[in-house]
Amino acid sequence: MPTDLLSMNDLTDGDVRDLLDAAALYKRRAVSGAPLGGKSVVLLFEKPSLRTKVSFDIAVAELGGHPIYLGRDEVGLDKREPVEDVAQILSRWAGAIVARVFAHRSLVRLASAATVPVINALSDLEHPCQALADVLTIRERFGKLDDVSVAYVGDANNCALSLALACAATGANFRIASPSGYGFSAEAIGAISSRFQHRRDAIADHGQDPAAAVRGADVVYTDVWTSMGQEEEAQLRRADFQDFQVNEALLAKAKPTAILMHPMPAHYGEEVPAGMLAQHQSAAIDQAENRLHAQKAVLRLLVAGE
Ligand code: CP
C-alpha cells in the first residue's frame, strides 16, 4: 500500500485500478461511512487553486474528517520556517498533509520528514490527483481504458507527465506533440518509457506536429501554455505555442467520437479558443467533478488504509 502520493509512480497498476473503482462507487453514492473518523487533513497550498482546494475540502468533510486550509502567507515554507519543521509539527496533529508547492523537491522533503501521508496537490513535476480524475473521466466516456488513444497537445508539463504515467498504468495509449524546447525532460521520458516498458508501441512522440498527434485519437488533451510561476515567460510562450491551439479544426482530425479534455483553468484565446470547453465534445467539467470522487478514493486508501 502506498504511504504517500507524490507521483503516479507511487501507485501500482493495481492501485490505480482499485482507486478508479472506488472513485466510481463514490460518484454513484454507493459507498457510505466515515473512513477518516474525525482526523484532520491539512491542505497546505503555496499556489492558488479552485478545483483542488475545494474538492479536497469537500472530500475530507464528506469522509468524516476535518479539513484545515493553510495558504502561502500563513506558513511560508522555507521562509517563515523550514519544510522539515512544518512536516513534523503537522504530523503531530493531522492525519495527512495535502500539499500544493512550487518545487517538487519541497514535497519530497515534506514526505521525508512527515510521519503521516503526504499527497501531491500539484508540484512543478506532477499532478497525480488530476491524472486520476482524467483517467476516471476517460473510462466513463468510453467504458474502458485499454487501447483508448490519448493525444496531448502543448506543454509537456506536470499534468502531461502524470497523464502519461496514468495512461501507462491503465492500458491507454499516449501520444504527444509540443513546440521545440517544451517537450518532456530526459528524466520524464525515462519514467514514461519505463512505465510503458511492456507496451512500447503504445507511446508516440509526434514532435512539433499536433495534427499527427491528434489524427484518429479518442481523446485530445491540452493545458495552458503558461503555468503558475511562469508568468514572466507568457509573451514568449504565446509566440512559441501559436501553432498548438486546440481549436475546432485540430479537433476535427481526431475521431468523430473524440472528447476534448483540459484540467482547467483555461487561458481562452491561447491553448483553446473562447467557448471551446463548452462545446459538445468537451469533458472538462466532468474532469473537474471527478477530482472529488478520485480524491475521496485516494484519501480513503492513504489515510484510512482501506
Ligand atoms: N486543475 C487544477 O488543479 O485546478 P486548480 O488549480 O483550480 O486547483
pLDDT digits (tens, 9 = 90+) for 115-148: 999 999 999 999 999 999 999 999 999 999 999 9
Closest CA to 26 of 58, 52, 66, 54: 58
- Ligand 1 test: best mutation among 43, 119, 291, most atoms within 8 Å of CB? 291
Mean pLDDT of the chain: 97
Confidence of residue 182 (pLDDT cuts 50, 70, 90): very high
Mean pLDDT of 28-40: 95
Residue type, 163: L
Res. 271: pLDDT tops 90: yes
pLDDT digits (tens, 9 = 90+) for 96-106: 999 999 999 99
153 HSE (CA, 13 A, CB side): 29
> Partners of 44 in the beta sheet?
70, 99
Res. 30: pLDDT tops 90: yes
Do 122 and 271 sit in the same domain of this protein?
no
pTM over 0.95: yes
CA separation for the pair 53, 27 (Å, rounded): 18
Confidence of residue 293 (pLDDT cuts 50, 70, 90): very high
CA separation for the pair 163, 169 (Å, rounded): 10
Confidence of residue 268 (pLDDT cuts 50, 70, 90): very high
Determine if ligand 1 sits within 6 Å of the CB of residue 162.
Answer: no
Query: Is there a domain that residue 203 lies in?
Result: yes
Do 33 and 136 sit in the same domain of this protein?
no
**Percent of the chain with pLDDT strictly greater than 70:** 100
Confidence of residue 229 (pLDDT cuts 50, 70, 90): confident
What count of other Cβ atoms lies within 10 Å of the Cβ of residue 257? 9
Residue span of the structural domain in which 118 resides: 8-126+291-303
Q: Find cell 482507486 and name the residue.
A: 19
Q: What's the pLDDT at 228?
A: 86
Q: What's the pLDDT at 269?
A: 98
Determine if ligand 1 sits within 6 Å of the CB of residue 290.
Answer: no
CA-to-CA dists, residue 210 to 46, 54, 189, 265, 304, angstroms: 33, 33, 19, 21, 43
Query: Is there a domain that residue 281 lies in?
Result: yes
Q: What's the pLDDT at 161?
A: 98
Query: Is there a domain that residue 283 lies in?
Result: yes
Give the CATH number of the domain where residue 182 resides: 3.40.50.1370
> What atom in ligand 1 is closest to the CA of residue 100?
8
Mean pLDDT of 51-78: 96
CA-to-CA dists, residue 75 to 71, 79, 85, angstroms: 7, 8, 11
| Residues whose CB is less than 8 angstroms from the CB of residue 208 and which lie 6 or more positions away in sequence, other chains included | 177, 178, 179, 180, 243
Do 66 and 92 sit in the same domain of this protein?
yes
CB 293 within 8 A of CB 26: yes
CA-to-CA dists, residue 233 to 110, 236, 294, angstroms: 29, 5, 33
Q: How far apart are the CA of 265 and the centre of ligand 1, in A?
A: 6
Q: What's the pLDDT at 79?
A: 93
Res. 60: pLDDT tops 90: yes
CA-to-CA dists, residue 168 to 16, 96, 119, 304, angstroms: 11, 27, 21, 27
Q: What's the pLDDT at 216?
A: 97
How many domains does the chain fold into? 2
Query: Is there a domain that residue 2 lies in?
Result: no
Residue type, 174: F
- Which DSSP symbol is given to 48? -
Determine if ligand 1 sits within 6 Å of the CB of residue 50.
Answer: yes
Res. 61: pLDDT tops 90: yes
